[in-house]
Homo-oligomer: A and B are copies of this chain.
Amino acid sequence: MDELIETVDIVRISGDETKNQQDVIIKETPLTLFVNNHELVTLLCLPQYQANLGVGFLFSEGFLSDKDDIESVNVNRNRGIVWVQLKNQLRINENFQKSRAVTSGCARGLTFYQLFEKWEGEFISTGMTISHNYIVDAVADLNQRSLLFRQTGGTHSALLYQQNEFLLEREDIGRHNAIDKIIGECILKRISGEDKIMMSSGRISSEILLKAARFKIPILVSRGAPTSASLKLAEEIGITLVGFARGKKMNVYCNSWRIQ
Contacts and interface: CB of A to CB of B under 8 A. Distances in A.
A114 to B, nearest CB: 10
A108 B113 contact: no
Interface string A223-260: 01111111100000000000010001111110010010
Contacts of A185: none
B230 A28 contact: yes
Nearest to A47: B228
B42 A6 contact: no
A104 B10 contact: no
26 contacts: A6-B228, A8-B231, A12-B251, A13-B251, A13-B259, A23-B253, A25-B228, A27-B228, A28-B205, A30-B109, A30-B116, A32-B113, A39-B98, A40-B101, A43-B102, A44-B112, A44-B206, A100-B103, A103-B107, A103-B176, A104-B176, A104-B180, A106-B174, A107-B173, A153-B224, A174-B205
